[in-house]
Structure 1
Amino acid sequence: MMNGRYPAAGRATRQRIAGEVLREHLSVVPTRLSRLVNIRFTSSDAEFSAKVVNAWSDAFIQTNLERKVQATSYGRNLLQRQLAQQKERLDESQRQLVAYASQERIINLPAQQNGDGSTSERSIVADELASLNAALSQATAERIAAEARYREGGARGASSEALRNQAINTLRQRRAELAAEYQKLMTQFEPQYPAARALKSQIDQLDRSISSEERRVSGSIETDYRGAVERERALKERVEQLKGSYLDLRRRSIQYNIFQQEVDTNRALYEGLLQRFKEIGVAGGVGVNNVSVVDQADVPQRPSSPRLILNLAIALLAGLGLGAALALALEQMDEAIADPDEIERRLGLPLLGSVPKVEGVTPRAALLDRKSELVDAYLAIQTNLAFTTEHGVPRSLSVTSTRPAEGKSTTSLALATMLARSGKRVILIDGDMRSPSVHHLGGVANDRGLSNFLAGQDDIHSLIFEMDDLKLAAMAAGPVPPNAAELLTGHRLSLLIERLHEHFDHIVIDSPPVMGLADAPLIASRVEGIVYTVESHGIRSTLVKTALARLAAANAHIFGGVLTKFEARKSHFGYGYDYGYGYGRDGGAESKGQR
């Protein structure tokens, strides 16, 4: 230093020394599994170290941004100028192509795909020449055939047409018969005999008729031959004219193809530049730097070291708060219907009963076993249904749910079975025309059923089949219609229920689910009420409430809810529901029965 300042003459030396100091004392350490780096500078002066690190990071960011902006901005501006120039070339080449085609009257049909996968335009002249050439080949073949027939007919009467002519063959046969009679007379009489003269006159007349008919056939063959020759000549002239036009078109199309190639080249270049221009505008983020400072370097006040007590206290408080918040959130998010009393408490529906989950056996097989838990459960539901109307169990009801696979079809079958076992005449109708299932239970085809009657068929008895083992009648859904809701909007369903009441005491309809479909509200408006099934631990209460609101909007009467697939061990009240339908079916239950 000279007088407290650095002289300009030693600047290069000072820069070299500063660079060596940085290389020896500065380090850039990447943080694993992240995009962060730590910049560290070691010196005996804490303030100087912080200043060097901050200056290094700021300089790197500025340099990176300048390089990026300069590169992308230059490339974008260059491409923008090239795009404008290429657009002008493309427009000019297209105008040139159209003007030349109009001047030379070159008309091409739209492009079609060739056998090798490429496409090319077709000229009208080429299409017409191909068509006429095919017609000329056909006319030549016809002329050769006609000429063969004409030359064959040179020997009068020997042509194939004459031999196939029915009239000539008939005349010849008659002449042969008369000639035989004439020869027979000649054995006894002279030619001047009147009968012989008459036969001779008839034979001569037949000869003249045969000759006349053969001349007519020969004339027809000659006319066909000359017509074929004339058609061939006319087509040859037209083909020769088109050949000249096609050659002239080929000559004029040379320049047209040159212009077309220029248009295609300019279009390809323009599209390539445009794509590149878009990529530059997106890639890298013009004017946006991808490097930033997360933490500025501060002057350290004291040595850093772990503060164990403080860290443990913070972790304990944070853990307690997080655990409490998580428990509260889980409690609020648990919207599943778990226990039977939640049917009334959450949904506001009367509880008709709960049905235990049956495993290892089909619902139909469980219903056939009168000692099964499923039978006991639905007997209780039937008993509760008897108190829903002033006349006991509703005469017509539908069973529905919020979504599929909640047990509505099993409930429909079970209620119909319980009513049938009580001595009632019951019919089960498959109202789910979108996903029918009743025909599977009856082992019949789904080619006849509810959709047939709704579409206009009046013969109800042909649509019903018997389920003898369950002692009830059933009606399948029938062929799947294009729009089931349109069939249900008419009066046919009400008419069906009215006519079925003449023969059955109770009508149970297996209705489609409510959510997403208009079928269930339409069916609900035609029956006395609805039995609503809810799957235990299977659906959120908010969805059930939404479905119930849709039914309420349709003025549907809901008798109550049935909780299906209930498992007591998963309920909120532990053992409370274990003492239920399984009572009396095992050893423990037998000991209880000895009280």
Structure 2
Amino acid sequence: MLKTSPPALSPLNSGIVTKEQLADEQASLAPPILLQYWQVVLRWKWVIVGIVIFALVVGLVATLLATPQYTATSRIEISREQKKVTNVDGLETQDAGRDLQFYQTQYNLLEARSLAERVVRKLRLSTNDAFFEAHGVNPDEESIFGQKLGQPLSAADRQRREKLAVELLYTHSSITPIRNSALVDISYTSASASLSAQIANAWTEQFIVQSMDRRFASTADARRFLESRLADLRTRLETSERELVNYAAAKGIVALGVSKSADGRTEVDRTLVSSDLEALNSALAQATAARIASESRVRLQNGGTNSDALANATISELRRKRAEVAAEYAKLMVQFEPGYPAARALAEQLTVLDASITREENRVSGSRSTEYREALKREADLKSQVESLKSRMNLQQRDKIQYNIYQREADTNRELYDGLLQRYKEIGVTGVGVNNIAIVDTAKVPEKPSSPKLPLNLALSLLAGLGLAALATFALDQIDEGLRDPTQVNRLLQIPLLGSIPDAEERDALEMLLDPKSALSEAYLSVRSNLAFSTDHGVPRSMMVTSTRPAEGKSTSSLAIATVLGRTGKKVLLIDADMRSPSMHLFTGQPNPMGLSNFLAGENDWKQLVLQTGLKGLNLLPAGPTPPSAAELLSSDRMLILVNQLLQHFDHIVIDSPPILGLADAPLLARAVEGCVFVAEAEGVAVRGIKTSLGRLHSVHAHVLGVVLTKLRSKQAGYGYGYGYGYGYGADKSN
């Protein structure tokens, strides 16, 4: 009876036997991007809270210290205006008076410096000290002559104060068009409520006066000139249109489609004859295409190829059924003779299907000749009708020469008449001195300050704080180069993740390892399962566990992997190769009088060095006495000899190796094992340090089986496990 291994542990049954496939599967388990952002927020939450609180405090202080500002607003309506009423006979383009250009011009006029100067002169703001005080400006600070109280202003000072007043008006006024309307709001802001209202109203009044000053008055001479021209053009237009209609009726020209060209001319696109010819010509083209297609099908049929049969759904379905029956028949022929009942039944089905296919193909082929004769006759009839209409079309084209002459004359007269008539209407409606600007609302003295607004400033401060916090969090997150979650292992190191080990926190990691139901044991059981996928023969028989630096959980991982392998019924030997800081004898409660260092120094009987640990299937080869130079002992071939001998007596060998950086022990040990398990602490060593350690292993052609991420807290991973046990030198047992 064959002995089978459990399906969960067999790499052959799993279907995933390569390290690359395992890495792809782990990469597909990456958490959503929003969850990754949430983890970053949790990691730097106090930094974010501090920055946001600081921004809110700054916004609050700035708001309380700011001078209250009052905004007064007046509203006007600007009606559409045609300014150049005497523009006759198309001397300028019609686009000159479009709404967009007109209103944009009005908005720019409202912001013109000349308008601000009119307001300053109207309200005498250059000599009003209250105006400058309302803006927190001292106009006499830069006085050329050192102006003093009670003395009259010089010409240079008045000019300077007027220029300063204009600049202040520019800075504190705003023009706000109301979307999709002809209304415009004119607002002014200062520290004085009454002054703001006064300036807003004066701005509106001066804009109306300035607009009226620019108007052009229509004259009686222009009206009389337009009337005489209209009477003459009306007579000419009537005559040209009458001649056009009479000629079209005499020559039988029936216009079905008329369009205007870019220059405003009327063009006849389609007549009754051209429309009929176009329809018949289109039908002839379709009939010719149908005849060619039918003729092609007949020739292909005569040549032995039947494309319709290939495209016929019934024939395709019969052929598909025949292929299925033929496949079943071929399978039976592998095991049985043709006389087998099931085989005979399938053979009969094949015969029936072949006959059905033949009948259907004959039926499709029989309709080709009839279809071709009908298409040929229809094409000949249409050709005859098209030739007849061509003769009528040629005659009509010659008649259209004179028709177009009449049409152009009528268009010219109509264009001149319409242009003059439009100008005449504009003069009659607009009149003289009509104002297109109306005041809708005058500015009232504001009762409450418009700024500063505490809720708005706090909201802006909050947004600014969140923005600064986001930048700071991004910068800090980029500076933090340690592995923060399992998804980064394959992406940054290009090595599969064997497992994520939870943080033991305040609990004893050794006690959790002895409990098969603990989270720590379950995590290392997952590591053992993934190790089964790292080679084509399952879990490697000999492996080394190492890390970049001490206190990353390397020794605990060595013990845990060996313990989990022993629980599965395997005979496992755990070798403490960290002769500089041995700890396995402390973990298992065994003495350390002799061990690996004795064998490497020349002792040949390794059996007397192996100790029973009391754990199922687990034996221990302690480190032994600390040698003067561990690297010198490991540089010999005795370690390779020892591993080869031990593999004859044990199913698996797990070696607890010293860290890589700064020591030569781990690369020397890598020569003697089948693969290396690399332990990395979450948020521990920077990624570049881990890559350096892996580079040292790769330089000695070591096979890195994967990475075990330790000391992982749940807030880091967002799912799965975290881990927290380390490697320590000296008396520290957490290594």
TM over 0.5: no
TM category (shorter chain) comes to 0.3 to 0.5
